[in-house]
Structure 1
Amino acid sequence: MRSHQGRGGAVPNAFRGGRAGDALQAAWPRRASAVSARIGGLSPSRAWAEEWDERRPFLWLPVTAGAGVFLYLAADREPVLWLPLLLLALAALGCVALRGRPVPLGAALALFALVGGFVSAELRARSVATPMLDRVRIAKLTGTVEEVDLRPAGARILLAVTGADGLDAAHVPRRVRLTTKRPGDIAAGASVAVTARLLPPSHAAAPDGYDFARDAYFSGIGAVGSALGRIAPAPAAADAGAVARLHRAVDRARNALAMRVSAVVGDGDVGAIAAAMVTGKRDLLSANGREVIREAGIFHIITIAGVQMTLVAGLVFGLARRALAASPTLALRYPIKSWAALVALVGAVFYDIGTGSRVGTQRALFMTSIMLVAVLVGRRALTMRNLGFAALAVIAIEPEQVAGASFQLSFAAVSALIAVQEARMRRAPDDLFAEPDRRRPGPRAAKAPPWRGRAGRAGQGIVHLLGATVFATLATASFMAAEFHELSPYVFVGNPLTLAMIEFFAVPGALLGTVLYPLGLDAPVWHWVAWGIRAVMWVAGKLGAAPMSTVHLPNFAPWALPWLALALLSVVIWRTALLRLTAVPFLALGLAGAAWGPRDDVTVAPTGDAVAIRGADGRLGTLGKASAFTAEQWLRADGDPRDPDALGKAALVLPGARCDRVGCTAPLPGGGAVALVTDAAAFAEDCRRAVLVVTPLVAPVPCASALVLDRIALERSGAVALRRTGGGWARRDARAPGEDRPWSPGPVARAKLRARPGGDDADGADAAPDGEPVRIP
């Protein structure tokens, strides 16, 4: 059979002529080009050329800038600023000088992005600088309430401190977060005086653990604690400015609306979830309610972030465009689509402000704003390039968020959704989404089969939505496992249900109810929202009670998550099959790190008042009273599903564990004993008998124990983890040697701060380099 040769390949002559033949001949070059591109993708040079033509390497610039942020956060000491600025200027000059030379230009751009992320993080740290409390103190604070988060019993208060009796003025934190069981009628904007027990923000409870102190520093919080007694009114403080007044007024309005929603809905956790979805106030939810939605893998239901922001912007955009299209004059003569995008952008900003402008909503606002601006200027909104610009915006404004689980989960999910959409668009014919030309007459079309009609398209849409949800869930799985040490197999059921509830109940109800709230006509709307929440909670309860509803995973190796992230990035950024194959070695390395993470036998809290020890049954137990935060971190890192409250009692069942008024002792894995000393009177005996002595006090010198971790040693090392090896113990420290960062200051020179009993400062004798075996008989 003869064929006709065209640009894209040979079209068989048997199919030439007639409308069907014309359509096939028009489509043949496209099909042949797709096949050619797929085959050409097997050549590295052709694959790179295709990626370069589609400007995909640009998407690695936000990744490189994020790596610069991680480099800043990983530094042992606070870097100087002049050297990164110099490197940034040189990289910028290199970019200008190397225009027209792709490979050197790419290297210069990568260097510029890397140093730019580093500089952005350093400038951010300097701009939010706040003194960090050094130790437990009791002080009388005066200040202005910035936020109040009401709880089922009490409240959590964010206080902007103006004065603190007992603290040097140069070391008073800018903000303090307090909990109280008697909030009274305190509201944001009130000037108060309160006596509080203050603690430094918690550092990592174990090496490679979550460091709350760093997050607190970037939020301007230098201390946490609890109010002792009544919170009393105080003389008004100086005016903090229009922005602060607006923020406090919004917080008062959010609390009033949250209490209104909770009161109207009632039903305990259902009302609390409704209030959280409408206002972002989550503290009304009970611990049991949190556990139910967490076990079902839908904890994000109470977090206002990307999904809600996108739905609000889309709803406002659709309503504004339809309203403008009602006028034929506006619809035919003016760019009403761009006008609707502008209205949606304003609505998204107001939604961000109205929900408290938290980190999650701010990041969602960045992403949504860039997409709406793309519509405003006539570009496609949902593209990977726009997501890259959103990531760069976050890195420029709040670079510390790159290290947070919220940022990583959000961008992983959105990048996966966009990648699925891009793949769908590439597989579809060019005119699939084009409007048909109804003016052109044609032959009467045959009746389409069911799978080609509206029902078929609806079915395809559902399948596409489910496929995208599955891919997004897989994209976030590694981050969920690494950050929270658990996975929910039933999330594939919970996520679509949650999205449907948010789309049909929560977001429309939140907008309509907020408008009707000042009129007192909002109650029916909140009941409508509650119906959807009850359905989701019923399903969440069933999922949480199902077998294997939550898979608990132990700690990953520190290098596992970067490799897993690179595997995901290789899949969603590259388009050619050959370059996507680079994800395979990255995935293999990441899975190896996930499988062979460190499993420590002993972990010492950075405060020295608690020790986790692995018992004969392989599970952790404790000596001392571990805080809820510390216990939770230990359990999660070990993949242990027990409740954190149970861990504090586990020492009672450890074989051989004994406690009295001066401390506790317990056997160590593999032999020997550990002593936790809480009274100096126990040092004489425990230093002689125990091979490991842990204490929040200052140990005497000499102490015959092989390893002494006292207050001075732990100030330098932070939390310490020990693992039994053939020749002793391998040690890991949470703090690097000589570490001194704004959120984790190095210990003050001991000669000026305190002296050990016995005269000499010899605590360095019992410390070993990170990872080096410590000889303990």
Structure 2
Amino acid sequence: MSDATRAAEQDERGGAALALPLGPLSRKYAVALQAAYAQEVELGRPFLWRAVAAGAGVVLYFAAEREPSLILCFSALALAALLAFVTRRHARAHAVFLALAFTAAGFAAGAWRSARVAAPIATRIGVGELTGFVEEIDLRPAGARFIMRVASAEGLPDDITPARVRLTTRGEPAFAAGDFIGLKARIMPPARAALPGGYDFARDAFFARLGGVGNSLGRIEIMAPPDPASLALRFFAAIDRMRNALASRVYKTIGGDAGAIAAAMVTGKRDYLSEGAKDLIRRAGIFHIVTISGMQMTLVAGIFFVGLRRLLAMSQTLALNYPIKKWAAGLAMIGAVLYDVGTGSRVGTERALVMTLIMLAAVLFDRPSLSMRNLALAAFFVVVFEPEAILGASFQLSFAAVAALIAVYEWRGDYLARARAKPPIPGMRGRFSEWREALAERLLHGPGAALVATLCATAATASFMANDFHELSPYVLIGNPLTLAVIEFFAVPCALIGAALYPFGLDGFVWRYLEMGIHLVTWLAGLIASAPGASLNVPAFAPWAIVFLALAVLSVVLWRSWTLRATAIPFVLVGLAGATSGAGFDIAVPATGDAAALRQPSGELTLLGKKTSAFAAEQWLRADADSRDAADAKGGASCDDAGCIARAVDGRVVALVLEKNAFLEDCARAAIVVTPLRAPEGCAAPIVIDRGKLSETGAVSLRLLKEGVAWRTARGVEEDRPWSPRHAQNVKHASVEDEETEKAELAEPLE
């Protein structure tokens, strides 16, 4: 008898003893839980929850208000691991300390990652002379955006020299990735969250080692580098040049939004897309067609694996005497890596690559390739090397969807195994049994199986979609199969064949074929997007709601026993309670203080400010379940160059002050004053939100109640993190809109 089985039996006896004082029904359920857990132990399922514990440790690290000591983090990890080792013969204590050890490992991984990527960050707006290597360029219909590895910086405030900066230029760039350039640039700190609990570009920029963002001023000169570029930089710069050349070729061949979508599907370059095209495919629930997702990665690896295996099988000598299946898997791994590098190797594709490589490696070692254990190993990889990705929508959606698909695959295997093992009983087959078997046959094979898988994956990702983007697409069951068909029959084959023919100038017909598929999918997307209720807006959740909803999803997909899967029910109920009890807001002010969202007496939000960031406005409106865009949400306020005046939902006067000379009048008549400046000490307004206040709180939201005002802040009271230091003064930060928050990674629900 194995140690795991013996421990499970000891747990069962202990559990039964503890259940004696309970009622008969409770005792029965407790015994059923013990038996179900023993079965899960035999199947090795607790291992999967160790990946969850590691992820929980990462979440706890990012929830901390102060940066923990690395020594303390690794000491806690060592202590928990030692206690888990000492208690290995005591099942319950061992399970507890093992969970603590993995949680501590995730926490330490986050701290170690922060220490490794730490780099100088611009403290305030400044203009300086920069030199450095261009790492990559994203071309746009007008201008470009590029990332520069800074070699020197002169004139920036506090003599800061960022490691990397992201800049935009309005004209067509005369330089390419790999060039050493010099320019004058206006540099700003990365943008903070526009709403408490909202997307924080500054945190993502920190882990990308982006110390500033902004735009180039004047002429950009190509210079001779003082030192040669590293081999890695030259290699990836060459890849970026090839991607841009191919993206430009596809875009110009097809033209318009169809060309932009094709370029994104083939190369991962999304900057040609217009806002109208983005909105169309988002409303249709198929935004992930413009990302290089796990779906494409799996299809590419599958094409290499199946194609190479069949090619090798054409030789009778090889087929009969050599492990050609393993050879094909090894070559497919190389092909998948090349595809990842060729499409930019972004965060989302890297995670998809890891999962694909693990599954192909399982073939090499004669193990099941499609298993939840392989997914857990991929999750461990993310925790170790990119722990910050766990907070991103791409990780949450892709892993939830893949876990749901694997769970469906496992359930299908279990059902078929039981059906084969159960002998038919003569005379007991009635009409109901026939109908049930016919229904099962349609749901387990053919289009019915695909529909069930899509439904389960959609259900698994729904809570993350609603929490991250405040939006649900009811017609996703139509959109996702449509996406799969386009990617399988058009995007991936065209990307592989077109890229191979492009150097020879024979690729034109390939892009015309791809154009037909894109026109088909955009036409259908238009029908879906225009259907009633195509996009359901969801208000912001309570902060803790997504934790319980995630636990509900994990309980359903990780356990094999329906007894233990039933534990998802209380998690769902608590999560839904939190999803429907978000705090809401009546006033929202970003960290910059130069704009605001205000709820009017009519109940709708109106935007205050001369140049409200489009992305900030989108965050405010989506969090309020408001489907309007920024242009439609303006009005209802009296504005001039000095600021704006409007009435809040409870009748209070709110003033946005943009010029110093407006303080005298607005401080006297307004109940709430918002300003990016420092308000004078004599300002008589009961509530003043100025630069000094915002430097402590970050973005704030206020709920106007009869008994007072309820505040929420983006920064904690004692918050001091590398991407949000306590001493940072909150001057005008960059526009998140200019930095495009990678929201195109948001939806990969069926990869």
Query: What letter matches 2:631 in structure 1?
Result: D
Q: Indicate if the aligned counterparts of 1:193 and 1:233 stay in contact, CA closer than 8 A.
A: yes
1:392 counterpart = 2:380: yes
Q: CA deviation at 1:430?
A: 7.4
Show the counterpart of 2:740: none
Query: What letter matches 1:196 in structure 2?
Result: A
Show the counterpart of 1:122: 111
- Distance, in Å, in 2 between the alignment partners of 1:749 and 1:484 is 29
1:613 counterpart = 2:598: yes
Show the counterpart of 2:621: 635
- Distance, in Å, in 2 between the alignment partners of 1:77 and 1:645 is 39
Match of 1:209 among 191, 198, 205: 198
Q: CA deviation at 1:274?
A: 1.1
How many pairs were matched up?
A: 690
Show the counterpart of 2:681: 701
In the TM superposition, what are the counterparts of 1:564-583 in structure 2 within 5 Å?
564-583=549-568
Show the counterpart of 2:82: 93
Match of 2:63 among 74, 81, 89: 74
Match of 1:131 among 120, 123, 132: 120
Q: Indicate if the aligned counterparts of 1:143 and 1:237 stay in contact, CA closer than 8 A.
A: no
Q: CA deviation at 1:458?
A: 11
Q: Indicate if the aligned counterparts of 2:645 and 2:654 stay in contact, CA closer than 8 A.
A: yes
Q: Indicate if the aligned counterparts of 2:132 and 2:151 stay in contact, CA closer than 8 A.
A: yes
Higher relative contact order (CA 8 A, sep 6+): 2
Match of 2:367 among 352, 363, 379: 379
Q: Deviations over 1:103-130 (max 9, x none)?
A: 2222222111101111111111111112
Query: What letter matches 1:124 in structure 2?
Result: R
- Distance, in Å, in 2 between the alignment partners of 1:645 and 1:252 is 37
- Distance, in Å, in 1 between the alignment partners of 2:580 and 2:588 is 20
Q: Secondary structure at the match of 2:407?
A: helix
Q: Deviations over 1:179-232 (max 9, x none)?
A: 111133221011112222222111111111110110111111111112222322
Higher Cα Rg, which structure: 1
Show the counterpart of 1:54: 43
Q: CA deviation at 1:584?
A: 0.5
Q: Indicate if the aligned counterparts of 2:673 and 2:689 stay in contact, CA closer than 8 A.
A: yes
Q: Deviations over 1:674-706 (max 9, x none)?
A: 222222222223222222111111112132221
Match of 1:84 among 53, 67, 73: 73
Query: 1:684–1:431: structure 2 CA closer, same or farther, 3 Å change rule?
Result: closer
Task: Choose 695-704 or 458-467, whichever is displaced more.
Answer: 458-467
Q: Which runs of 5+ in 1 are unaligned?
A: 1-38, 434-448, 754-777
1:176 counterpart = 2:165: yes
TM-score by length of 1: 0.86
Q: Indicate if the aligned counterparts of 1:673 and 1:691 stay in contact, CA closer than 8 A.
A: yes
Q: CA deviation at 1:519?
A: 1.6
Query: What letter matches 2:208 in structure 1?
Result: S
Q: Which runs of 5+ in 2 are unaligned?
A: 1-27, 422-433, 732-751
Show the counterpart of 2:653: 673
Q: CA deviation at 1:748?
A: 5.3
Q: Secondary structure at the match of 1:79?
A: coil
Query: 1:734–1:458: structure 2 CA closer, same or farther, 3 Å change rule?
Result: closer
- Distance, in Å, in 2 between the alignment partners of 1:542 and 1:279 is 27
Q: Indicate if the aligned counterparts of 1:632 and 1:644 stay in contact, CA closer than 8 A.
A: yes
Query: 1:671–1:644: structure 2 CA closer, same or farther, 3 Å change rule?
Result: closer
Q: CA deviation at 1:353?
A: 0.6
Show the counterpart of 1:541: 526
Query: 1:184–1:432: structure 2 CA closer, same or farther, 3 Å change rule?
Result: farther
Q: Secondary structure at the match of 2:417?
A: coil
Q: Indicate if the aligned counterparts of 1:41 and 1:47 stay in contact, CA closer than 8 A.
A: no
1:144 counterpart = 2:133: yes
Match of 2:285 among 288, 297, 322: 297
Q: Indicate if the aligned counterparts of 1:69 and 1:118 stay in contact, CA closer than 8 A.
A: yes
Q: Deviations over 1:287-345 (max 9, x none)?
A: 11111111100000000011000000111000111112112222222221111111111
- Distance, in Å, in 1 between the alignment partners of 2:158 and 2:643 is 37
Q: CA deviation at 1:714?
A: 0.5
In the TM superposition, what are the counterparts of 1:505-516 in structure 2 within 5 Å?
505-516=490-501
- Distance, in Å, in 1 between the alignment partners of 2:376 and 2:728 is 43
Query: What letter matches 1:634 in structure 2?
Result: W
Q: CA deviation at 1:743?
A: 0.9
1:243 counterpart = 2:232: yes
Task: Choose 409-418 or 530-539, whichever is displaced more.
Answer: 530-539
Q: Indicate if the aligned counterparts of 1:41 and 1:578 stay in contact, CA closer than 8 A.
A: no
Query: What letter matches 2:408 in structure 1?
Result: V
Query: 1:359–1:56: structure 2 CA closer, same or farther, 3 Å change rule?
Result: same
1:264 counterpart = 2:253: yes
1:226 counterpart = 2:215: yes
Q: Indicate if the aligned counterparts of 2:123 and 2:157 stay in contact, CA closer than 8 A.
A: no
Match of 1:645 among 613, 631, 646: 631
Query: What letter matches 2:127 in structure 1?
Result: I
- Distance, in Å, in 2 between the alignment partners of 1:235 and 1:491 is 52
Task: Choose 424-433 or 139-148, whichever is displaced more.
Answer: 424-433
Q: Secondary structure at the match of 1:511?
A: helix
- Distance, in Å, in 2 between the alignment partners of 1:749 and 1:599 is 27
Show the counterpart of 1:340: 328
Q: Secondary structure at the match of 1:228?
A: strand
Q: CA deviation at 1:234?
A: 2.5
- Distance, in Å, in 2 between the alignment partners of 1:677 and 1:41 is 63
Match of 2:587 among 602, 606, 622: 602
Q: Secondary structure at the match of 1:231?
A: strand
Q: Secondary structure at the match of 2:135?
A: strand
Show the counterpart of 1:4: none
Query: 1:170–1:82: structure 2 CA closer, same or farther, 3 Å change rule?
Result: farther
1:415 counterpart = 2:400: no
Show the counterpart of 2:691: 711
Q: Secondary structure at the match of 2:445?
A: helix
- Distance, in Å, in 2 between the alignment partners of 1:563 and 1:409 is 16
- Distance, in Å, in 2 between the alignment partners of 1:147 and 1:184 is 12
Query: What letter matches 2:618 in structure 1?
Result: E
Q: Indicate if the aligned counterparts of 1:47 and 1:576 stay in contact, CA closer than 8 A.
A: yes
Q: Secondary structure at the match of 1:644?
A: coil
Query: What letter matches 2:525 in structure 1?
Result: A
1:287 counterpart = 2:267: no
Show the counterpart of 2:181: 192
Query: What letter matches 2:388 in structure 1?
Result: E
- Distance, in Å, in 2 between the alignment partners of 1:80 and 1:340 is 47
TM-score by length of 2: 0.89
- Distance, in Å, in 1 between the alignment partners of 2:248 and 2:296 is 21
Show the counterpart of 2:93: 104
